[in-house]
A = this chain, B = another copy of it.
Amino acid sequence: MDANYNRIAGQSLQRLAGLSDGLFAVAMTLLVLDLRVPVLASVHGERDLGQAMVALAPRLLMYLMSFATLGIFWIGQQTQLNHLHRGDRELAWIHLGFLFAVSLMPFSTTLIAEFLAYRTALLLYWGNILLLGALLYAGWKHAGHAGLVRSDITADLACAVERRILIAQGLYAISAALCVIDTRLSIAMILLVQANYILAPRVFGLDRL
């Protein structure tokens, strides 16, 4: 009879899902704290307020981009966990690392919104996305090796999950590389990649990327 603590620790998929939903919810809402209402004294009429709102648009776009990023990874993590029949301590820690990367997203977003034209900001933002992808991938690989995957999941399906992460990260890496030309080109490309994953248009096989 083996009473090793590590064999019994952190096995609840439900608690992992609960913590993840909470952390994603907080991170998604904290993004918007970045949107600041103009100072009352600086506004002298509807025109001033309208202009202040228009000036917020680029920041709102960055916020929307990060909300979409978090949405894509929330769906990705949910899909992974839905396909497991149990968890273990290692899986819990890989996903805690993943949630750490989620909690950094409000910082990365403020950074890129403030320093739109800086490659340093863009590459750190991309680093955050890369970390999310790498840990999601590691979670799926570990689940496969440790026998956590539900028995009704075919090898084809398991490959589809893996392939999705790798292609998405490839597209994000290409987007980031475009910053040698212009950081705004990188951002535009990231937005296009996200729009594709959200809308999954059934043309040219785009929904199969």
**Which residues from B are CB-within-8-Å of A156?**
1, 3
Instruction: Point out the residues of chain B lying under 8 angstroms from A182, CB to CB.
Output: none
Contact with B along A80-110 (1 / 0, CB 8 A): 0111000001001100100110011011001
B71 contacts A32, CB within 8 Å?
Answer: no
Number of copies: 4
CB of A188 closer than 8 Å to a CB of B: no
A29 and B23 contacting across the interface, CB-CB below 8 Å: yes
- Minimum C-beta distance from A28 to chain B (A): 6
Give A140 Cβ to nearest chain B Cβ, in Å: 12
CA distance A35 to B176 in the complex (A): 23
Question: Are B110 and A157 in contact (CB-based, < 8 A)?
Answer: no
Which of B1, B11, B106, B121 touches A82 (beta carbons < 8 Å)? Answer: B11
Question: A103's contact among B22, B31, B83, B89, by CB below 8 Å, is which?
Answer: B31
When chains A and B are docked, how far (Å) is the Cα of A27 from the Cα of B103? 10
A-B contact pairs, 14 of them (CB 8 A): A3-B156, A4-B160, A5-B160, A8-B160, A8-B161, A10-B78, A10-B79, A12-B78, A19-B21, A22-B25, A23-B28, A28-B100, A35-B107, A37-B107
